[in-house]
Structure 1
Amino acid sequence: MTVSLEQKAVIVTGAGTGIGREVALAVAAAGAKVVVNDIGASLSGEGQDASPAQRVVEEIRAAGGTAVASTDSVSEWDSARRVVQCAVDNFGRVDSVVNNAGILRDRMFHKMEPEEFEAVVRVHLFGTFYISRAASEFMREQSSSSMIHMTSTAGLLGNVGQANYSAAKLGIVALSKSIAVDMARYNVRSNCIAPFAWSRMTSSMPTDTPEQQARVARLQRMEANKIAPLAVYLASDAASAVNGQIFGVRANEIYLFSQNRPIRSVHRDGGWTVESLAETAMPAMKGSFVPLERSPDVICWDPI
């Protein structure tokens, strides 16, 4: 089966390096016209440099593809609209967005400053909303459009020192599901990918203990280009029946993540009191409690 993005226009945010770059190159190779969006900021979000986005554009053009650079920020409504308008102005349409842009400002929760929380949430969660919302105005008039959002196991499973990042990434999952429900009538799909790959976003991981060093060593063997094929597929018409899902890609593994559903219930005639909750309800449900685990505790095997 041949999967093609011919005649489609795709926006990839955070596309100057890492996973975003690989996705931009892959959708272009599949025939898409690409808006390569990246402000060229540091990992923590400071500064601006147009060269990363332009280098990817030149790579795509050298391979015979079509691409334009965008250096507008996704973290503000007006500039995010300019990113989408760039696709419309240059290509006449927008068929898919890949919301990949992100920053990190890791810190233990009790030391995290409000500005550190807000900055990360604004880029990841607000940025995903702004780009998707702006694109939706055009997508609802088209047929078989697709939104792809990068989430993380930091949000799905939990991680240390990343309350801001985790909150944003789990928020993206809920946002994606809401988009999928609201936009299904217009044949606009919305799915999430939780990528495992060595990139700028993972390069800040601590290596203070042997366990942390081993985890980083495993990640360094996971190539960013392993994420791109799933993004290409989800952007294509071949994925027309895939909507509202959460996938993970880890080297040669692909996951389908579960979504929240009730797993245990208890009933008491007349309702519950504080005392009966303590004596009956919590002991009955305790065996089904989700353990206090982090992402590396849950996904702890070597995929290589």
Structure 2
Amino acid sequence: MSDLLKGRVAIVTGAGRGIGRAHALELAAHGARVVVNDYGVSLSGELSGERGAGSPADEVVALIREAGGEAVANGADVADFNQAEAMVRQAIDTFGGLDVLVNNAGFVRDRMLVTTSEEEWDAVIRVHLKGHFAPLRHAGAYWRAEAKAGRPRAARVVNTSSGAGLQGSVGQATYSAAKAGIAGLTLVAAQELGRYGVTVNAIAPVARTRMTEGAFDTSAMALPEDNSPIVAWLASVEAGDVTGRVIEIDGSTITVENAWSHGPACDNGSRWDAADVGPALRELLAEAPAPEPVYGA
């Protein structure tokens, strides 16, 4: 396609199927050398036996190599702190460095809030939120060390949030909470890592995948690969002036999300009396835009 990412080294997590697979293939097509991570689990996170030789990650690596690119497979559990560190080290040892981290891995356990078990909550929060933190923490430490040693890299992080985390989604309280957390993590990481030349953004992709096909009618939804050109550009050196943003991608439409921002305010001049809060708050709510409807409402 192009030399947009020529010479750059990328990790894509959850890259054996769906959106992650599309990202890995897209980055490779633009010249990136890719560590294709996939733990080999089912849609709901159970081990599926699709690990090791012949795994989905191996299949993606084979496709990249057949097209003339460079890639290696990785089977790390990205929410395991030590395995995430080893994955980052694999990229550095194999390709001589790391420039791009695309955090994509995750699964769903859809339940209404009052029927969600503690195990389901813990599993979803772990894979999405800790599964973003652990690779980002180790990659960030590497980029900081490189910068301090006088070898700064034009590093890029692309996290994966969701409309469920930004607007909410009925029946997905756990998933929505995790994806909202990822958006918040993105804002902080962008600020903290910017001094080392690292940009951190998030996408909120819309696509027909294993995650969405069982939940509702996906016939009109975009394909996984429709999201990947935006990721490729965000991963490029050219995108160095874009950071701390959440970008929704829905087919041919990209939207910069406003997320939480300060709206109408009222200063009482002293401690509020509870009896005065209602009228004041209702006036502010009348001035503020109505929140977007929760998905599924």
Following superposition, the deviation at residue 198 of structure 1 comes to: 0.4
Structure 2: distance between partners of 1:101 and 1:296:
24
What number of residue pairs does the alignment pair up?
Answer: 285
Give how far 1:269 is off.
3.8
**1:59 aligned partner, one-letter code:** L
> Which is further off, 119-128 or 140-149?
140-149
Find the counterpart in structure 1 of residue 50 from structure 2: 49
Question: Which residue in the other structure is 1:189 paired with?
Answer: 199
Alignment of 1:58 with 2:68, yes or no, is no
How many Å apart are 1:201 and its aligned residue? 1.7
The match for 2:85 is 81
Give 1:137 shift: 2.0
2:72 corresponds, among 65, 68, 72, to: 68
CA deviation after TM superposition for structure 1 residue 271, in Å: 3.2
Corresponding residue number in structure 2 for 1:113: 117
TM-score (norm 1): 0.90
1:250 and 1:67, CA in 2 relative to 1: closer, same or farther beyond 3 A? same
- For 2:174, which of 159, 164, 181 is the aligned residue? 164
Out of 165, 169, 183, the position equivalent to 1:173 is 183
Q: Give the distance between the partners of 1:228 and 1:75, measured in 2 at CA.
A: 23
Aligned residue number for residue 283 of structure 1: 282
1:254 aligned residue: 254
Q: Tell me by how many angstroms 1:72 deviates.
A: 0.9
Deviation at 1:292, TM superposition (A): 6.8
Counterparts of 1:37 and 1:174, CA distance in 2: 24
| Unpaired runs of at least 5, structure 1 | 207-212, 298-304
CA gap of 1:3–1:284, structure 2 versus 1, over 3 A, is farther
**Moved beyond 3 Å, runs of 4+:** 289-292
For 1:124, the equivalent position in structure 2 comes to 128
Cα deviation code 1:182-231 (max 9, x no counterpart): 0111001100000001011212214xxxxxx4xx3322xx1111111011
Q: Match of 1:217, SS? A: coil
Report the residue type matching 2:262 in the other structure: P
- For residue 289 of structure 1, report the CA deviation from its aligned partner: 6.5
2:149 alignment partner in structure 1: none
CA distance in 1, matches of 2:293, 2:244: 25
Residues in 2 aligned to 1:103 and 1:96: alpha-carbon distance in whole angstroms: 22
**1:12-46 Cα shifts (integer Å, max 9, x gaps):** 00000111111100100111100000011001111
Match of 2:263 in 1: 263
Equivalent residue for 2:215?
A: 205
Q: Relative to structure 1, is the Cα distance of residues 270 and 75 closer, same or farther in structure 2, using a 3 angstrom cutoff?
A: closer
Give the Å deviation of 1:282: 2.3
- Per-residue deviation at 1:172? 0.5
Does structure 2 conserve the Cα–Cα contact (< 8 Å) formed by 1:121 and 1:164?
A: yes
Question: 2:50 is aligned with what amino acid?
Answer: D
CA contact (8 A) 1:266 1:284 kept: no
What is the alpha-carbon distance in structure 1 between the residues aligned to residue 186 and residue 292 of structure 2? 25
1:215-273 per-position Cα deviation (integer Å, ceiling 9, x unaligned): x3322xx1111111011101100101001011011111011100322111123243310
Equivalent in 126, 132, 137 of residue 133 of structure 1: 137
Amino acid aligned to 1:14: G
- Pair 63,111 (structure 1): closer, same or farther in 2 beyond 3 Å: same
Q: What RMSD in Å do the two structures reach over aligned CA positions?
A: 1.5
Structure 2, unpaired ranges of 5+ = 147-151
Shift of 1:296: 6.0
Provide the C-alpha distance between the structure 1 equivalents of 2:289 and 2:62, rounded to a whole number of angstroms.
52
Residue 21 of structure 1: aligned partner: 21
Equivalents in 1 of 2:125, 2:193: separation in Å?
24
Decide whether the 8 Å contact of 2:265 with 2:284 is kept in 1: yes
What is the CA-CA distance between 1:82 and the residue it aligns to? 1.5
Identity score, percent: 39
Relative distance call for 1:262 and 1:3 in structure 2 (3 A) is farther
User: In 1, distance between residues paired with 2:275 and 2:234?
Assistant: 50
In structure 2, how many angstroms separate the alpha carbons of the residues matched to 1:5 and 1:285? 47
Amino acid at match of 1:43: L
